[in-house]
Amino acid sequence: MPEAHIVCFSGAMGRCCKLVIGLDERIGVVDPNIFGHFIEHLGRCIYPGIWVGRSTDIPNEDGLRMDVIQAFRLIDAPIIRWPGGCFADTYHWIDGIGPVERRPRRINIWWGGEETNEFGTDEFVKLCRLVGAEPYICVNVGSGSPEEALAWLEYCNRTGDSSYAKLRVENGHSEPYNVKYWGIGNESWGCGGSFDPVYYAWEYRRFATFLKQADPTIKLIACGHTSTDWNLRFMESLRNFIHLIDYLSIHYYFFRNLQRYGGDIDFTDEQYLNLLFDIQHLEYEIKQAISIVDFFSEGRKDIGIAVDEWGVWHPQATVENGLYQQNTLRDAILAASVLNLFIKYSRKVRMANIAQAVNVLQSICLTRDRETILTPTYYVFQLYRPHMGSIALRAEVESPVVREPTREDLISLQRVRRKLEPLKAIDASASIDPDGANLVITLVNRSLDEDFDIDITLVRGYDVREGEFASITSKNVRSYNDFDMPNNVRIVEEPVDIKGNRFSLNIQKHSINRLILKLSS
């Protein structure tokens, strides 16, 4: 049925959408860590995306490249996960400390080439300190041992005269690092050791028992899966050890599907919509993970969900090219919609790490020799920054649909038993800061051909005194930033005149938008 043309508050006669924000309907605190990052010894991510060494004319601090650090700082990057990924379960941390000339070269069995170990624990923590981010270390379960993980924790977090704590001091770091977040293996169902969920649960219990005993202040992330069966069987085996889990992780890639999604910069309108339509599968996985952890832990422990790898993995990113791909406005629109999803589930989604920060997959920065450019996805993180630490509010959207489910969706994705939802043009999230002074609204218009007037109603309590508006868009949804055109896609700020508790806002086709509204009661 064609949608009716309704008159917006503004009097405009175009198709308009409605957004209702319940100022007293609080759904959770937006954990800053949902805007987290991930770096791995893979392709050109760490060398030279993060680490350029000290003997170079690329501006660096102790070998860490300053332009990338500055980019991280400007988005307040809250947490960085390292050293992998698949790499984590073959990594022996002891190889990466001490005098660089004595560090062994190892084979990177996952991503090829040799690992020089120039970038190790001390360099990683230094990176995090320069950025202002929390370090998140993923320990080696697959080819490692609880003893090795305990020694790593001791190296990072202990004071005193125990041998690994002293080793850190001898390496020039007198203060403990106090690393709070520790992952117990990576994708243990796959590259992390091909475990089954019950065997992994046994390993998890060993690692977690000792690590938590050695330092009860740390938070542990268990390796979950986008398979109900894995999560159920793992959690069932941990039923009596719930106190050992702080987060259950899932990974979600919109994974190399040339036919359905097209390529990184070369895709049809239909493929653009297919990619965005499939965000609902990530929502399904989040809901499944939440209901499983709630079922096994309710009333005993509040376990969070960490989507500690996510992003678009285009067919152009191969092991041979170090998983390098370009990143268009389409990817940014996807990232914004995914962040809206994390905000919607902020009651339980407490961490997320886009894969990967530099030169790999859905990067926020791309480097070439001395130069660094920021991708459209980077600007989404900059735009969404004011949501960090705020209180997520119910945001109800009424919007035209841009893509209906089809039979092919069910067949091609082999998800025959799932109910699929139409893709709405407009997607939104809202949060208010704890003292109720500022309301942040982020709105994505996923339509390829229509601008919309959005009628926004704030329910109860407050009026808007003044507002700021910023958006990311471009004439073409296939636009991207490259070394010869670094500012093709970026944030543009525009004046808005907004007052009261009902107002209209016009947003452009294929755009990501943010309103910051100052409130008075």
Give CA–CA dist 510/94, Å, rounded.
48
Map tokens 């937006």 to a residue.
Answer: 30
Among 21, 23, 40, 372, binds ligand AHR (CB under 6 A): 40
- Least separation in angstroms between residue 114's CB and ligand AHR is 18
Closer residue to ligand AHR (CB): 226 or 288? 226
- Least separation in angstroms between residue 356's CB and ligand AHR is 6
Q: Which residues contact 164 (CB under 8 A, 6 or more apart)?
A: 151, 152, 154, 155, 158
- Is 309 considered catalytic here? yes
Among 108, 117, 186, 473, binds ligand AHR (CB under 6 A): 186
Q: Which of residues 155-174 bind ligand AHR (CB under 6 A)?
A: none
Q: Which of residues 408-447 bind ligand AHR (CB under 6 A)?
A: none
Among 249, 340, 356, 445, binds ligand AHR (CB under 6 A): 356
Closer residue to ligand AHR (CB): 212 or 251? 251
Q: Which of residues 70-129 bind ligand AHR (CB under 6 A)?
A: 84-86
- Is 187 considered catalytic here? yes
Specify burial of residue 25 (Cβ count, 10 A radius: 0-12, 13-18, 19+). middle
Closer residue to ligand AHR (CB): 204 or 272? 204
Q: Which of residues 236-275 bind ligand AHR (CB under 6 A)?
A: 251
- Select which of 40, 154, 187, 285 is catalytic: 187
Instruction: Report whether 351 contacts 310 (CB < 8 A).
Output: no
With b for 16 or more beta-carbon neighbours within 10 A and e for fewer, the 337-353 pattern comes to bbbbbbbbbbebbbbbb
Nearest to 77 by CA among 39, 114, 51: 39
What residue number has its CB nearest to ligand AHR? 85
Give CA–CA dist 478/476, Å, rounded.
5
- Least separation in angstroms between residue 194's CB and ligand AHR is 13
Among 31, 134, 187, 453, binds ligand AHR (CB under 6 A): 187
- Least separation in angstroms between residue 97's CB and ligand AHR is 22
- Select which of 309, 421, 466, 493 is catalytic: 309
- Whole-angstrom CA distances from 467 to 131, 149, 283, 392, 480 are 29, 49, 31, 19, 29
Q: Which of residues 294-313 bind ligand AHR (CB under 6 A)?
A: 309
Cα–chain center distance at 385: 13
Interface region with ligand AHR, contact rule CB under 6 A, candidates 150-158, 172-180, 354-362, 401-409: 354-362
Question: How does DSSP classify residue 358?
Answer: B
Secondary structure of 161-210 in HEC code, one letter for each residue: CCHHHHHHHHCCCCCCCCCCEEEECCCCCCCCCCCCHHHHHHHHHHHHHH
Question: How does DSSP classify residue 116?
Answer: -
Interface residue list for ligand AHR (CB under 6 A): 40, 84-86, 186-187, 251, 309, 355-356, 361
Which residues participate in catalysis according to the annotation? 187, 309
